[in-house]
Structure 1
Amino acid sequence: MTEFFVTYKSQLIHTLIVLGTVVILYFATNILHKWLRKKEENIFSNAPIRPFNIIKRILNILWLVLGLIALGLIYVDSDKSGVLINSFKLASYLGVVAIITIIAATICNMWFKYKIQEKIALQYDPTSFKFLRYVAVFTICFVGFLFGLLAFPSLKGVAQTALGGAGIIAIIAGVSSQEALSNLVGGVFIISFKPFRIGDIVKITDTMVGTVTDITLRHTIIRNFENKMIVIPNAIMNKEKLINYNLGELKCCERIEIGISYDSDIDLAKKIMREECENHPLIYDNRTDMDRKDNKPIVRTALTQLNDSSMTIRAWAWARNYSDSFALRCDVLESVKKRFDKEGIEIPFPYRTIVMKKEKTTEK
């Protein structure tokens, strides 16, 4: 046993030094992580936790990998140590690039979040900052990935070409037919021309109506009135014909239609619909000064259609915004139905006439 320790004394000492260094670095990383988390909570209460946890895991894995490589250098022959040295450099390079990329992306993301909160507090439109946040974070991660490729000789040429301006343009041109790029370009067009912004109420189809909550590199997120999140690719948002209830004037005209029977009094039905609309607290007076001087009613009613078994009466009721117009429509339909029942105005429903044909039987 004594001869073994004497023979391998230097190797054992180096092994203990490597193991001790790895253990010290492991505990130092954990202590530093806890300290940075406390500082972050004191300065930025809403800062993300995940990047710090990822950095801690990368460092702990890096210390373990470097420690194993260092142990291998102790016990392998000198002619094979070159491979381990190259592996040591590769692992160190990739670890440093990954950590720098994560730190840069996190700082960029936190800065944009701070600017977005500042815009919201000042009641400015934060849409551009929200979109640029995704662009900036994606760019940092993409550049970090390319620098990581530089460590591999077979991929070094691709990374160097992509890091050049012409290389990036060539890559974009190469994937220009793909859907991912069309969504990205669609997002840029949405931010540039602003057909809608975050917080606007938009209607794409009868089943897709809601408030725009976010615009990312790939898609737009709409929260409908059932509190469900609708994710629509930006390329589709650019192609669809949508209604933006917050673009321009907010006031909204709600067309309320009810069918009455041919036996009902048209004038009475129009009067009831006008009164119920005008008495609603959410009604908006959209008359001009000339209309008020001529004593024109706030709500216009008219007979708009003669159907097979009913006549359609329409009321044009204005509200301050889309939400008020929807509530106005629901309340007026209910109140008009009750008034029609009280005044004897019939709302027709389908009739079916059944003719029973009696067959004659002949006796033989």
Structure 2
Amino acid sequence: MWETISKDQILRDIVTSVAIVIVSFLVAKIVGVLISAFRGKIIQRAPIELGNRMLELLARFGRRLIVIIGLYLAVHQLSRILSPSIFRVVDGALYIAVVFIIVLFIIDLTNTLMRWYSQRLEEKNQVFVSREFLPLFDKIVKIALIFIAAIFILKHFNQDVGSLIVSLGVGSLAIALAAQSTLANMIAGFTILIDRPFRVGDRIMLASGEIGDVYEIGMRSTKVLTFDNTLIIVPNAEIVKEKVTNLSYPDPKIRVVVEVGVAYGSDVELVKKLLQEAAQSHPKVLDDPPPAAYLINFGDSSLDFRLICRIANFMEQW
């Protein structure tokens, strides 16, 4: 091949190739300097820590991509000099490098956004989301990116990816069928996260009639702590399908009902008055609405009264 090309042409191709590489490194350096110079103006619209991290990632990605593009152009400038086999190897290596840089940038970007979002969730006391759902989402994104990158690389080298996709599809279907209940609970967990029918600390009543405080909302189940200090573990799929009463929403006020029996012959109005006064004298009972007492039943051996009042916080019910 060298015999059909003049020495001057070979020299020009080599010089041009070297110049392209040098220029690409200079441009990459300039891009980094420009991003740093405009950092203050760019991050005004985003949180400072997140903005700084995003700019660092963008600058690093830009520098790497510009250098790889420069090397790619330089290699193509030498295509008349290099043998076809060497050219294909170098060209393939540069293509893999470009795919690797793009995948690495997306992974770093995802990790940065997830860390920032995780901190925000923990500030809102949604620790279960940051500890269980976000790591799962992070793994899914990484696996998907690696799979897509592998397909692009194989197609670049003229490899058949159809059989690979079919095999992975069949394998994924088998896994999904085997873990059907687990996936159902995980999807229900996402539904609880988005719909937010209750939060950690809320007092709820399950469809079974059991009452307790939400202790933890996990990826597969929700834990409820009852008044007997026992922990009820309910699969998320069941909670989504069944009726759940949130006793803490929209505010923590709760009605307290007390039933009292007195002997026959007692003064009904006096009993009502005494019950109301007893409730009003309690420091945790609200004045609005005022406590009320009613005669509700003539029992076998007593007059049955019901006292109704409200307290400010359901945690002080007992």
TM score, norm. by length of structure 1: 0.44
TM score, norm. by length of structure 2: 0.49
